[in-house]
Every structure is written in C-alpha cells, then in structure tokens.
Amino acid sequence: MYNIKYHNQDLSSFSFLITGGAGFIGSNIVEYLLKYNAGKVRVLDNLSTGKMENIEPFLSNPAFEFVEADIRDFSACEQALENIDFVSHQAALGSVPRSVKDPITTNEVNVSGFLNMLVAARNANVKQFVYAASSSTYGDSKKLPKVEEQIGKPLSPYAVTKYVNELYADVFAKVYNFNSIGLRYFNVFGPKQDPYGAYAAVIPLFFKAALNNTPPTINGDGNQTRDFTFIENAVQANIKALLHPHQQNKAEVINIAVGENTTLNNLWNEICKIVGTELNANHGPDRAGDIRDSLADISKAQQLIGYDPAFNLSTALVPTFNWYKTQNFSNLNV
C-alpha cells in the first residue's frame, strides 16, 4: 500500500504526532509517514482500542516513538506535543452503539480529551492540527448528498461528541487564531480494521462471517446506504490536510468519502462473490442512533486540499480481503 505519493514536501525535517496511532486509521497514517521518511513520528495511545500489533513493525525505526498515555491526561498531551510540528488527532472512542451504552466515557474521551489536545496544541504552536470528525454529524438530515454546511440534529451521543469537536475547533480559530481541519470520515474500511468485539464495523464483520461461512446479521432491512471509504483515501486526506498552507482564523470541516454509496445488502453480496461463498444474511431490528442513508459531496475537500480518492468500494474490497486472509481470520470463530 501507499505506492501513491500524496505530498510534495521533504518530510525528513518535520515531526508528527498521531494520537490514537495504534488504532486502525492512526497506524495507517504512521505507516505512510515512515514509508516516506518523516523526521519524527510519535504515537500517543492508551491502547484501549488500539493494538500494539498495529505498530510493532515500526518499533525498530529510529524515527518512530510510542508514548502510552491517555488524552484525558492534559499533562500527557503537553508532553507528547514537545517538539512537534504537525498533529493528526485520531484518538477517540468510536461506535454509535458504544456511545448509546456508555455516553459518559464517550464524552470524556471525545470531548474532554479533544479539548485537552486543542489547548496543548495551541500552547505548543503547532503548524497544523487535523482531527477525525465524523459523518454522524449529519444526524437526521435526509438531504443527499451530504454537504458540510447543512447538518441535522444528532442521533446518538457519539454524534454529539463529534459535533462538539467541530464547535470547539471553530471557537479556537476565532478566539485564539488556532487553525484546524476536521475530516468528516464516511465509513472508513481496510487493512488493520478489527473484526472482533462488540463494536466492530460492518465490512470486517462481513468478511469474518464470509470467511467462516456463517451468515451475518444485518440491522434492519439492509437497504440503508453508506459511502464506504478505503483507508488509503483517509490517509491521503490526512497527509494533504496536514501539509495544507496555513490559513488565518480558519476551522475547516470537509467530507472524506468517495461520493458513491451502496446498500448493505449489495455490500454483503459483493463480499460473498469475492470470498466465493453463497449465504443469505439474517436480519435483525434497526439499530438505535444509526443514520439511514449516507452519501458525501466531496467537492469542498477536492477544492481545499486537493483530495482525490484513488479507490472506490469495488477496487478496494479485494485488497481488504487479501489482508484479512493473511491474518487467518477464517480460522477463528465469528
């Protein structure tokens, strides 16, 4: 992966902090930066959802540094930001169902932790602050495609926390002249995404089910749509946003997706074809807090940072499947 270069600058003189860098998206950003010889790549992660196995290949790299700490600890945030130029803030408690079950912890990590990072990054005078926003912010808005300036009311505690991040970022731009770019991810998937646990995402769950020849359970009728976004597209967005020229008093938010959507039923059928199995999915009740339909307008990201997704769902499912095969997930229980 990452044979396409998404930057023009020499990265060897720059230092990067990736919070949540042992997680799915964060560790892929780390992989890209080290592949292209970044001067320093520091990861801050408490390993609550991130995994050491995601960053073990980097431990012998002299440009890599791992700090096991929690973004809810302000002093840890300050220490992690020493001598850092750019911040990619990926640390968060994801999952709508998790937030429905435990809104307090979700708020502590996603709001208080985010604010800690904002304050510490402002104090450290970093060159750019990029953070993981979410398409969940569109809430109950039924307008398609989703345009950044038109959102609805949040449908889950998780969505509330991600919207609060955007509000804080906007205030910090206006009050402190602290600039940032929020990336509203739309259903990111790909290598290193965990198919285990109560809050696993749909694509790894589908691959795990197909590899084990066991029907998955789809929440609802399966005709809900998603704009699935391959991990390399998300990494591209982070790199381009991090190196985007500084803008005064600006807190931008942009959609990171492909601009194409598919139903969960179609997704399951495509995965069955790739794996070589024929199974009918089971259907359960609708899941509380879920958005029904999702499709992104990516024109703002294209114009602002030159975002140009190189992979769509059809081109990215096979490399994702190939990665899951190497992990021997088919030998483990669903």
pLDDT at residue 95, as a whole number: 84
Instruction: List, for residues 103-149, the tens digit of each pLDDT value.
Output: 999 999 999 999 999 999 999 999 999 999 999 999 999 999 999 99
Lowest-pLDDT choice from 161-170, 248-257, 309-318: 248-257
**pLDDT at position 333 over 60:** no
Domain covering 15-190+228-260+291-311, topology = Rossmann fold (3.40.50)
Q: Average pLDDT over the chain, rounded to whole?
A: 93
Report the amino acid identity of residue 216: P
* Stretch 155-180: mean pLDDT: 96
**What integer pLDDT is reported at residue 197 of this predicted model?**
64
Amino acid 331: pLDDT: 47
Q: What is the pLDDT of residues 15-27, one digit of tens each?
A: 999 999 999 999 9
- Give the span between the Cα atoms of 323 and 138, in whole angstroms: 31
3-state helix, strand, coil in the chain (%, to 5): 40, 15, 40
Q: What is the mean pLDDT of residues 253-279?
A: 95
- In the chain, the amino acid numbered 156 is S
Question: Quick one: CA torsion of 264, 265, 270, 275, rounded to 10 degrees?
Answer: 100
| pLDDT tens profile 272-327 | 999 998 889 999 888 887 888 999 999 999 999 999 999 999 999 999 999 988 87
Cβ neighbors of 168 (< 8 A, separation 6 or more) are: 111, 114, 115, 118
Residues belonging to the active site: 158
- Global confidence as pTM: 0.93
Domain spans of the chain? 15-190+228-260+291-311
